Structure 1
Amino acid sequence: MARYSQLGFVDAASPLMEQMIFFHDHAMVVLLLIINFVLYMMIYFTVQKFICRTIYESQFTEFIWTVVPAIILVFLALPSLRLLYMLDEIGDSALTLKCIGHQWYWSYEYSDYSNEISFDSYMIPTDDLEPGDFRLLEVDNRAVVPYGCNIRVLVTSEDVIHSWSVPSLGIKVDAIPGRLNQMGFYLNYPGIFYGQCSEICGANHSFMPICLEGVDTKSFTAWLNTLEAYQK
């Protein structure tokens, strides 16, 4: 049974996800008002033995129930278009992370440096999990990024269509063979953020999780130097 904390969205870790949650709450308020009004009218006219002819054939009433929904759509469209623009906008990025989907694992590349750093990320089998690890979400090599700066993500695939998705960041980018998609995000705080492939990509679709770790800039630089020395 779901607990109270599991009935909504995951905690937002980026400004984009915060805006998505805000828009969801905004739309839900409008939706609840519409549902309550329509339910009231249905009950009212069901209880009544007849509908007044002045209401049934009123042009003014038809005008009202045509204009009001249009106004409601405007209240939903304006914040929706603003959010879509924010999702599509990518500012100056401090780091580029390239994610490549395979059947059935992810590869990551840090191509901003003279020596390109790359590694594969596989799901840890259930028998090898440590106490406190999350089943079907832990990986052997996490993608590490610094928090507090803009990150650009390039996503592609080498075989079939995958989808790189991290709910707490508000990110879902399709990985399509022969095509390079991009999206940006900004981490508000350090932590470990999980996701999964959100496109049905074959028999082991549910076994290619995403594990993103946000650290401070100093720790990220140290991790990067260690990985670069190891790959040499």
Structure 2
Amino acid sequence: MAISKVLNRFGATLAGVMAAGSALAQDSLQGLESIGKPVDGAMGWQPAVTELARDIHWMDNFLLIIITIITVFVTLLLVWVIIRYNRRRNPTPATFTHNTAIEIAWTFIPVLVLIFMVGPSLNRLNKQQIIPEADITIKAIGNQWYWTHEYVDHGFGFDSYMLGHPATMPEGTEGDEFKLSPSVKTLLADKGYSEDEFLLATDTAVVVPVGKTVVVQVTGADVIHSWTIPAFGVKQDAVPGRLAELWFNAEKEGVYFGQCSELCGKDHTYMPITVKVVSEEVYENWLDGAIEEYAGIPRDVKVATAN
């Protein structure tokens, strides 16, 4: 048991050292506006910054209108029946058991409503599932309980741990993990995050340029996870042994947050995703630094591909 504890502590310390080193390429990305995050007490969707997210919001409003009309109609119908056919006004109830016209209507009308909903729904689902040609390809691997992000075209990757995870904590702060302790508040501030972004912010963020098509290949290393960014309108299960894809094109610079959306074990709560959308110039500068820091493929090296 003692050996196991020593090994676990060594592993956490090593991960912390690696995480501290991996933050160097992202030091220049502070100061971005936090856009895509939950707001305490608010209702509704996070701001939509992709075409896919706007489609989802439109579909939600479209269905809400239909549901509201149906609800109001059924409620008025119930009120009318209660008033018109109560025992006082109708002491002798009817004895018939069928009404063919009504039965046809309550079968045919819902079918028409469903057909009316199918077109817009399939159109938006089709747009999500047909993956366009990528400007940038990123592989997201779900682990218990952190994400690994690999920039496929440039041959490098990094692990993303929640700020406050033991892997991100400095020495001498044992016992402060997974809570908004003073040391975690300092860590958040040093990384450019506010205290209300605890449980959302990670030590290393996915960095993408604004206005570019990003394809994310999603898989899992152990159990099923789920990669999602609400402001982008994307969510994809990360299933071990399978490689799924999603895509987005972010239209506004800023910081966006998501979380693993598939129950994956005891630390499922502590598995956020941070995406920073920056200008193309900033992205290119960051990419140069990341390639050097993570020992990626230099840009002047041509990698042969199989035909």
- Contact 1:55 1:61 (C-alpha < 8 Å) held by counterparts: no
Matched, 1:106 2:165: no
What are the within-5 Å matches in structure 2 for residues 1-232 of structure 1?
3=41, 6-48=42-84, 49=86, 50=90, 57-113=98-154, 116-125=155-164, 126=180, 127=184, 128-130=187-189, 132-133=194-195, 134-232=197-295
Superposition deviation, residue 74 in structure 1: 1.1
Match of 2:168 in 1: none
Counterparts in 2 of 1:64 and 1:112: CA distance versus 1, 3 Å: same
Counterpart CA distance in 2 for 1:105 and 1:46 is 57
Structure 2 gap segments, 5+ residues each: 1-38, 165-179, 296-307
Q: Which contiguous aligned blocks of 4+ residues in structure 1 show a shift greater than 6 angstroms?
A: none
SS in 1 for 2:123: helix
Further displaced range: 159-168 or 41-50: 41-50
Amino acid in structure 2 at the alignment position of 1:23: M
Superposition deviation, residue 176 in structure 1: 1.1
Counterpart CA distance in 1 for 2:212 and 2:107 is 46
Structure 1 gap segments, 5+ residues each: none
Higher normalized contact order (CA 8 Å, seq sep 6+, divided by chain length): 2
SS in 2 for 1:112: helix
Counterparts in 2 of 1:44 and 1:52: CA distance versus 1, 3 Å: farther
Superposition deviation, residue 149 in structure 1: 1.4
* Structure showing greater Rg: 2
Superposition deviation, residue 227 in structure 1: 1.2
Identity of aligned residues (%): 33
Counterpart CA distance in 1 for 2:273 and 2:40 is 23
Counterpart CA distance in 2 for 1:55 and 1:68 is 23
SS in 2 for 1:203: coil
SS in 1 for 2:245: strand
Counterpart CA distance in 2 for 1:187 and 1:179 is 26
Counterpart CA distance in 2 for 1:27 and 1:121 is 37
Superposition deviation, residue 47 in structure 1: 1.5
Superposition deviation, residue 58 in structure 1: 3.4
Counterpart CA distance in 2 for 1:56 and 1:47 is 21
Per-residue CA deviation, residues 83-129 of structure 1 (Å, 9 max, x unaligned), is 1101101111101011111111111111113xx11111111113232
Amino acid in structure 1 at the alignment position of 2:160: S
Further displaced range: 196-205 or 128-137: 128-137
TM-score by length of 1: 0.92
Q: How many residues align?
A: 228
Amino acid in structure 2 at the alignment position of 1:209: P
Amino acid in structure 2 at the alignment position of 1:179: R
TM-score by length of 2: 0.70
Counterpart CA distance in 2 for 1:194 and 1:2 is 15
User: Which has the larger share of strand?
Assistant: 1
Superposition deviation, residue 7 in structure 1: 1.2
Counterpart CA distance in 1 for 2:188 and 2:276 is 18
